[in-house]
Amino acid sequence: MKIILASASERRQELLNRLTGEFDINVSNFDESTIPFNGSFHHYVMELARGKALEVENRLSDAEEKIIIGCDTIVAFNGKVLGKPKDKEDAFKMLRELSDAEHEVYSGIALVNTKTKRVITDFVCTKVKFSDLSDEEIKRYINTEEPMDKAGAYGIQGIGGIFVEKIHGCYYNVVGLPLNKLYCMLREMGVNL
C-alpha cells in the first residue's frame, strides 16, 4: 500500500524514512486558521492533522489505495499554543517564556485510507524542561535562524537541544513525528512495515 506524507517538513520526511523508504510527499494546503483552539491541546493538534490529511485526500483522483499521513506539532505553555514565531521578536518572547520552565509538546497524527475512507487520529504529549537562559543566549540562538520555522521557536534536534535540561516522553514527538505512535497507527490501518 502506498504511503503519502502530507508535509513539507524535512524533519518529518527524515523520520518517516526510518519506518519506510517507500513514501511520496504531497504537501497539504489546509488552512489551519479554520480550526479554532478551544482549550484542548490534544484535540486541537488531532483536528489540524486530520484537516491536513483530508485536504490531500480530496485532491487525489486515482483509485489506487493509499494511506495519507497528516501531522501537526505545537508547544503548549501556560494554557497557550506556541506555534512558529512570526518574527525574531516573537521568537525571543517565546524562548524567554520557556526559559527555566517546563512546557509540553503535542503532536497530532491522522491517517486516511483513500479507498475505505477510514480516518484514525491520535496524539502524543511530551514534557520538556528548559534550563535558565540569558537574553544573550536567546539572541545568539535566534541569529542562527534555526528557531524561525519551529513550533515554540526551537529545534531539539539542532542547536536548540542545548537548552533542554530534561524530557519526559517521546523524543521524536518533540522533533515533529512520534515514530512509535505512527508505527502502531499504521499497523492498525493494515500497513505492515
Give the pLDDT score at 98. Answer: 98
**193 pLDDT above the threshold of 90:** no
Contact between 81 and 137 under an 8 Å Cβ cutoff? The reply is: no
Would you say residue 16 lies in a domain? yes
Catalytic residues: 72
Give how many domains the chain has, as a whole number.
1
Write the CATH number for 179.
Answer: 3.90.950.10
Residue 31 lies in a domain: yes
Does residue 61 surpass a pLDDT of 90?
no
The answer to whether position 193 is within a domain reads: no
- Whether pTM > 0.75 for this model: the answer is yes
Q: What is the mean pLDDT of the chain?
A: 95
pLDDT in tens, 75-111: 999 999 998 999 999 999 999 999 999 999 999 999 9
Q: Could you give the CA distance from residue 109 to residue 50 in angstroms, rounded to a whole number?
A: 7
